[in-house]
Amino acid sequence: MKVKNICCIGAGYVGSPTMAVVAKQCPYIKITIVDINESRIAAWNSTDLNKLPVFEPGLDGIVKEVRGRNLFFSTNVDKAIDEADMIFISVNTPTKTYGKGKGMAADLKYIELCARQIAKVAKQDKIVVEKSTLPVRTASAIKSILDNTGNGVQFQILSNPEFLAEGTAVQDLLKPDRVLIGGDTSSKEGELAMKALVDIYANWISKERILTTNVWSSELSKLTANAFLAQRVSSINAMSEICEKTGADVKEVSKAIGMDSRIGPKFLNASVGFGGSCFQKDILNLVYIAKSYGLNEVADYWEQVILMNEHQKNRFSDNIVSTLYNTVSGKKITFLGWAFKKDTNDTRESAAIKVADNLLNEQAQVSVYDPKVPEERIYTDLDYLNTRSSDENKSLLTINNDPYKACKDSHAIAILTEWDEFKNYDWKSIYKNMQKPAFVFDGRGLLNKEELKEIGFIYYNIGTGN
Ligand code: NAD
Ligand code: UDX
């Protein structure tokens, strides 16, 4: 079967970039991305490409090329489902905030709503693809909902988890390390459905990089990949604290171990802590799954990755307070960066949020500059914590669109995101306009320690003694 019409439910950080790239590489497929969020769809349809809801290098150019050609954004979910041969479910699967599994399990209500809507609308056979990250065995729940509608439509469920990282989404989609497709390997219909999806990716990805597995392996591989990646960050962050006590330099340690081909050089940057919408959520989900099978040691093992990350964020803010003579009350502390990593406007679970919250508890005056994160997002992130009223957050934290103004008169600067532009600032002029002694707390190991010290800054880096 050759797929000609795709519907993708969910116009978020995954659905939209992924489908934009599929549309680019497969001009013969008509793709409609649908979402219940009307303002998001309106923004995707905006003629001003700077207003697209997701900032990703290279994405605007692709959207310009394919939008209106074979990629469409719409709020008419039923119509797009009805017309499609293949439906990707790419909705959010956040950590549950209520009931059983609160704070750990993935909340699958949006997934179930999609399955029910597909069941209600579909009149012809469809292939349903799980693009969202899901707990292992979710495909059976989706299948059960779809198969019990009584309208005789045949559904094949595939798992096709997405491995893109934000900030490099377009490159990751154009040249993925691998594509993973899980399906019902025991039936001819299952094999045919998997082949239909393989054929789409094969338009630009070599067959050796397209893996097919049983559906459970595919679902579990996604959680496993994120757990392993986050574990590397927590492992190097744990070593960063030992480095600070012993005089070792974590960058040198990373380089030394990364040259071991069994370890490899990537994902060994010590930092203020990992953020993003995936790592914490997916590990908590893994921990919950392990506990639900009574595998308590397995659960404890993975939970430690999260605990280490919390510790890293807290010790960063603790170090700022203790270095500034044990009080930051009324002192201006400037954050350069709010996004959870560079080249994205996404702030979900960003370390900056926790660090700011800790410093605001100490009555610091926090001033924030981020090149891509909108002002209202920063306040929403803080308000969501419910630590203090929205008015208090607004009076304690200010946002500035000019980094030099943001830094003016501050006692300390904290680097929370590794935006490239920070490296090229006129640090001499920033120093001149700060309170003295002027401190820099580099949560990303981004700046040149020797240069900053030469200018006069007192400079603290993660993972190096002084
Ligand atoms: P997102 O919140 O940016 O987007 C999800 C979209 O789905 C929202 O716009 C929401 O309005 C829409 N939606 C929810 N229910 C809907 C419904 N019933 N009908 C129509 N639209 C609906 O989320 P995201 O970051 O794109 O993540 C989506 C999934 O992909 C999650 O499971 C996530 O774990 C996974 N994932 C994310 C990343 C990432 O880097 N963000 C990477 C890999 C996998
Ligand atoms: C991650 C996975 O990499 C991706 O495969 C998956 O599909 C979604 O989750 P993402 O969260 O977008 O992607 O970004 P990633 O590059 O993994 O960074 C996550 C966090 O870890 C960021 O806060 C980043 O700054 C931090 N990090 C990463 C480090 O602190 N050190 C590192 O060496 C690498």
Ligand nearest the Cα of residue 9 is 1
Q: Which residues contact 382 (CB under 8 A, 6 or more apart)?
A: 353, 356, 357, 360, 393, 397
* 377 backbone φψ class: left, alpha, beta (φ>0; ψ -120 to 50): alpha
Q: Which residues contact 445 (CB under 8 A, 6 or more apart)?
A: 250, 251, 269, 270, 271, 461, 462, 463
| Ligand 2 atom 13, closest CA | 165
Between the two ends of the chain, the Cα-to-Cα distance in Å is: 63
Burial, 262: exposed, middle or buried (Cβ in 10 Å; 0-12, 13-18, 19+)? exposed
Question: What is the tally of helices (H) and strands (E) in the chain?
Answer: 18, 14
* Distance from Cα 167 to the centre of ligand 2, integer Å: 10
The CB of 93 under 6 Å from ligand 1? The reply is: yes
Give residue 61's identity as a one-letter amino acid code: G
User: In a mutational test of the pocket of ligand 1, which residue from 7, 9, 14, 73 has the highest number of ligand atoms less than 8 Å from its CB?
Assistant: 14
Nearest atom in ligand 1 to 91's CA: 7
Nearest atom in ligand 2 to 162's CA: 7
Ligand nearest the Cα of residue 276 is 2
The CB of 13 under 6 Å from ligand 1? The reply is: yes
* Distance from Cα 114 to the centre of ligand 1, integer Å: 12
Q: Are 154 and 189 in contact (CB under 8 A)?
A: yes
| φ, ψ at 66 (rounded to 5°) | -105, -20
The architecture that CATH gives domain 5-205 is: 3-Layer(aba) Sandwich (3.40)
Ligand nearest the Cα of residue 108 is 1
Q: Are 158 and 215 in contact (CB under 8 A)?
A: yes
Report the pLDDT value the prediction gives residue 466, as an integer from 0 to 100: 64
Burial, 381: exposed, middle or buried (Cβ in 10 Å; 0-12, 13-18, 19+)? buried
Nearest atom in ligand 2 to 172's CA: 5
Look at the pTM and tell me if it is higher than 0.95. yes
Nearest atom in ligand 1 to 110's CA: 15
* Distance from Cα 229 to the centre of ligand 2, integer Å: 7
Q: How far is CA 226 from CA 68, 111, 283, in A?
A: 35, 20, 7
Q: Are 183 and 174 in contact (CB under 8 A)?
A: no
Alpha helices per DSSP H over 93-214 = 109-121, 138-147, 169-174, 188-201
* Distance from Cα 191 to the centre of ligand 2, integer Å: 33
The CB of 431 under 6 Å from ligand 1? The reply is: no
CA–CA separation, 55 and 425 (whole Å) = 23
Give the tens place of pLDDT for each residue, 210-227.
999 999 999 999 999 999
The CB of 74 under 6 Å from ligand 1? The reply is: no
Q: Are 146 and 157 in contact (CB under 8 A)?
A: yes
Give the tens place of pLDDT for each residue, 338-376.
999 999 999 999 999 999 999 999 999 999 999 999 999
Contacts for 100-106: CB closer than 8 Å, 24+ residues apart:
101/288, 103/284, 104/284, 104/285, 104/287, 104/288, 104/291, 105/135, 105/284, 105/285, 105/288, 106/133, 106/134, 106/135, 106/281, 106/285, 106/288
Nearest atom in ligand 1 to 37's CA: 11
Give residue 252's identity as a one-letter amino acid code: E
| φ, ψ at 347 (rounded to 5°) | -120, 5
Residues carrying CATH 3.40.50.720, the chain? 5-205, 279-461
Specify whether domain 279-461 bears CATH 3.30.460.20.
Answer: no
CA–CA separation, 270 and 463 (whole Å) = 7
Report the pLDDT value the prediction gives residue 150, as an integer from 0 to 100: 66
* Distance from Cα 424 to the centre of ligand 1, integer Å: 35
Instruction: Name the binding residues.
Output: 10-15, 35, 40, 91-95, 132-133, 166, 278-281, 348
What residues are in contact with ligand 2 under a 6 Å CB criterion? 162-166, 226, 229, 233, 267-269, 271, 274-276, 278-279, 340-341
CA–CA separation, 412 and 440 (whole Å) = 6
Residue from 7, 26, 278, 407 carrying the catalytic annotation:
278
* Distance from Cα 377 to the centre of ligand 2, integer Å: 20
Alpha helices per DSSP H over 168-278 = 169-174, 188-201, 215-246, 250-258
Tell me, what DSSP letter sits at residue 412?
E
Q: Is the peptide bond before 437 cis (omega within 30 degrees of 0)?
A: yes
| Ligand 1 atom 20, closest CA | 35
Q: Is 166 helix (H, G, I), strand (E, B) or coil?
A: coil
Shortest CA distance to 425 belongs to which of 436, 411, 409, 408?
408
pLDDT tens across the length of the chain (466 residues): 899 999 999 999 999 999 999 999 999 999 999 999 999 999 999 999 999 999 999 999 999 999 999 999 999 999 999 999 999 999 999 999 999 999 999 999 999 999 999 999 999 999 999 999 999 999 999 999 998 876 789 999 999 999 999 999 999 999 999 999 999 999 999 999 999 999 999 999 999 999 999 999 999 999 999 999 999 999 999 999 999 999 999 999 999 999 999 999 999 999 999 999 999 999 999 999 999 999 999 999 999 999 999 999 999 999 999 999 999 999 999 999 999 999 999 999 999 999 999 999 999 999 999 999 999 999 999 999 999 999 999 999 999 999 999 999 999 999 999 999 999 999 999 999 999 999 999 999 999 999 999 999 999 999 997 6
Q: Is 243 a catalytic residue?
A: no
* Distance from Cα 256 to the centre of ligand 1, integer Å: 38
Ligand nearest the Cα of residue 176 is 2
Q: Are 111 and 89 in contact (CB under 8 A)?
A: yes
Report the pLDDT value the prediction gives residue 465, as an integer from 0 to 100: 75
User: In a mutational test of the pocket of ligand 2, which residue from 279, 415, 422 has the highest number of ligand atoms less than 8 Å from its CB?
Assistant: 279
Instruction: Name the binding residues for NAD(+).
Output: 10-15, 35, 40, 91-95, 132-133, 166, 278-281, 348
CA–CA separation, 382 and 395 (whole Å) = 12
Tell me, what DSSP letter sits at residue 85?
S
